[in-house]
Chain A
Amino acid sequence: MSMLSLERVTKRYRVGAFGGRELTAVRDATFAVKAGEVVSLIGESGSGKTTLGRMVLRLASVSGGHIRFDGTDVSRLKGRKLAGYYKHVQGVFQDPFSTYNPIFKADRVLHTIRPTFFPEVSAAEWRKRIDTALESVRLDPRQVIDKYPHQLSGGQLQRMLIARALLLDIKLLVADEIISMLDASTRIDVLNLLADLKERGLGILFITHDLSLGHYISDRAVILRRGVVVEMGTTDKVFGNPRHPYTRTLLSSVPQMHHKWTRADIARTIDGSCAIHDGGACAGEPQLVEVDDDHLVGCAAH
């Protein structure tokens, strides 16, 4: 059974003067994340990735649909119950320097969770747990404890946030573009760390606009375009046999290290054929259709 499942999750924002207009940032998103699985959520900027991640983390309210975690509907939890949810579900965000309050020492983020989640654990015992957690994200406690955020590198900060999640009884991690602000040479370490965690049974919702990163780490991929899921399935199928024209455009534009862009890959994408309505009229229905085992595609009109 899936650990996290989204059912027609929708987010509408009120925008414009007096909130007069409505903007649908995410529409009818339906997918799931299993334990020990990395699901990449891929899409260009503004496609609604962050909004989806924030709804799963309940930092944004859910306008429609349901989010279930281990079978319970969490989309409208409040107060204590919500805190209980946070014991199992945590997030790491894009900008490490904004995730830490600049005026406090960085390791404060490891201490603030104790009073809420583990009031019974003594401070000394907690410090021991912190050391263990830091070591499991390959940070040397002596190097990172008692430092201000600006004294640590982006990679160290992101790892410390992952350590924070590990201190809890974490089952699902929402990672929103967590390595896009890191340097090439440290990116891969954080990515490998996520992969290790997944092997220990953690579910990860990996949000990215970088297809190479998504491909490297994930088991399944969800392609989001203007708030709508246009294609999803196992990574092999989505990347190896993309069926939606949008996925193809994305893939052909990815710069590759040992292969230069050619006109041919453009030509491949101009073929906007619909996987559902072969040559027929595309009405743009929102439903995804299963074109292969665990490979769903939406109508090309989306």
Chain B
Amino acid sequence: MSDLARAAGEETAPSAGGEVVSAPAVPLATGPVAAAAPGARRTRDALHFALRNKKVVGGGIVVLAFLALGLIAPLFYDYGHSEYVGPQSSGPSGEYWFGTTTFGQDVFLQFVHGIRSTFLVGLLGGGLAALIGMTIGFVAGYIGGLVDEALNMLTNIVLVLPALAVLIILHTYIGITSVPSQALFIGIFSWPWVARAVRAQTFSLRTRDFVDLARLSGMGSGAIIRREIAPNMSSYLFMTFILLFGGSVLFAATLDFIGLGPTGVMSLGLMMNNAVHWSALQLGLWWWFLPPGLGITAIVGALYIMNVGLDEVFNPKLREM
């Protein structure tokens, strides 16, 4: 229905605070309630809805279960994940839960070690990308003008750079030997969309009067961004991090799978790479390639489902009344 229709008496349902971050700048016909409501109540409501949101709770349980598995399970083994400990190519059994590889390595042990590095790369890579993206987004959005244009250009350059090609080149010259260095590369390439989104949000927040008031209090730009603007976007930043985490895990798996992963460290991607390399598929060793594939799918899937759930929690429009 056209907006003019509203004007002529065809009033539509009120559009309650549509933005993720803030109450609408112009309260529509919903009156003072919509204008003033968010705030403390929002946090409380968010928690209220989060704990009742099946997607958030379910996704969270899956993620935490995997994390616990990766952290705890390896402690119970006195041998390493690449040691040849058992019979070759044996299926799942009471002793080797996920069976063994062609060389007699314990697949379950590889799997739980793989989860460790998966979380590590997710946290480091996602964290770094979040840090770069948010810093650039905040600075560009808050300061604007020439700084904004320069940062925007930088963002666009990184956005169009073929990350994979660059990584292959870097790998051949420098060699990516550890999970942190892999995370570093991933982080450096995955921030542009974050910078854009944060910039746009900052742009709309910096025109609010409370930013002016902070300036009249003698606060500098950095303090204003940290203490006034960022807290207003916390829910949004949180969701961004979840998406980056999932993205880094997938990116790392791809790299490991095509053989660009760190050496000496087991990861879910590397497990799949090995399985394919040693023809596990053709030999029918399903217990070798299925767990890592399903593990990645489950972790990333659970994160994305959580993200959708969080979206519903933070966005009143999607909340079921």
Contact = CB atoms under 8 A, between A and B. Distances in A.
Say if the two chains contact directly (CB < 8 Å). yes
Interface of A: 54, 57, 59, 82-83, 86, 90-91, 93-95, 97-105, 109, 112-113, 116-117, 148-150, 161
Interface stretch (B32-40, B76-84, B181-189): B32-40
24 contacts: A54-B212, A57-B216, A59-B212, A86-B217, A86-B218, A93-B213, A98-B208, A99-B209, A99-B212, A100-B210, A101-B228, A102-B39, A102-B232, A103-B39, A103-B231, A104-B231, A105-B40, A109-B217, A112-B217, A116-B218, A148-B39, A150-B37, A150-B39, A161-B213
Contacts of B40: 103, 105, 148
Contacts, number: 72
B214 A112 contact: yes
Nearest to A80: B218
B23 interface: yes
B131 to A, nearest CB: 22
B42 interface: yes
Q: Find the residue from B37, B215, B216, B218 having the highest chain A CB count within 10 A.
A: B216
Nearest to A109: B213
Interface in B37-69: 37-43
A103 B38 CA distance: 8
A93 B209 CA distance: 7
Given A150-B39, A150-B41, A99 B210 contact: yes
B222 to A, nearest CB: 13
A91 B212 contact: yes
B212 A102 contact: no
B102 interface: no
Contacts of B208: 98
A104 B43 CA distance: 11
Contact of B212 (A93, A149, A150): A93
Q: Find the residue from A82, A94, A112 having the highest chain B CB count within 10 A.
A: A112
Contacts of B315: none
A83 B38 CA distance: 31
A83 B210 contact: no
Q: Find the residue from B43, B208, B217 having the highest chain A CB count within 10 A.
A: B217
Nearest to B227: A112
B36 A150 contact: yes
Contacts of A95: 209
B219 interface: yes
A54 B211 CA distance: 13
A245 B217 CA distance: 41
B152 interface: no
A83 B220 CA distance: 10
A109 B25 CA distance: 21
B36 A98 contact: no
Given A98-B25, A102-B42, 12 more contacts: A91-B212, A93-B209, A93-B212, A99-B213, A100-B210, A102-B232, A103-B232, A116-B219, A117-B218, A148-B39, A148-B40, A149-B36
B39 A98 contact: no
A113 B218 contact: yes
B204 to A, nearest CB: 12
A38 to B, nearest CB: 20
Contacts of B23: 102
Sorted nearest first, the 6 A-B pairs with minimum C-beta distance are A83-B218, A116-B218, A150-B36, A99-B209, A102-B39, A98-B209
B42 A112 contact: no
B274 interface: no
B135 interface: no
B90 interface: no
A101 B218 contact: no
B228 A97 contact: no
A45 B219 CA distance: 30
Nearest to B234: A103
B22 to A, nearest CB: 7
Contacts of B37: 150
A112 B36 CA distance: 22
Contacts of A82: 218
B44 to A, nearest CB: 11
Contact of A149 (B39, B43, B228, B232): B39
Contacts of B38: 102-103, 150
Contacts of A57: 212, 216
A253 to B, nearest CB: 25
A95 to B, nearest CB: 6
Contacts of B43: 103
Given A98-B209, A102-B38, A59 B215 contact: yes
A98 B213 CA distance: 10
A125 to B, nearest CB: 19
A90 B216 contact: yes
Contacts of B209: 93-95, 98-99
A150 B45 CA distance: 15
Given A148-B40, A150-B38, A98 B210 contact: yes
A185 to B, nearest CB: 15
Contacts of B232: 101-103
A116 B217 contact: yes
Nearest to B231: A103
Nearest to B216: A86
Contacts of A103: 38-40, 42-43, 231-232
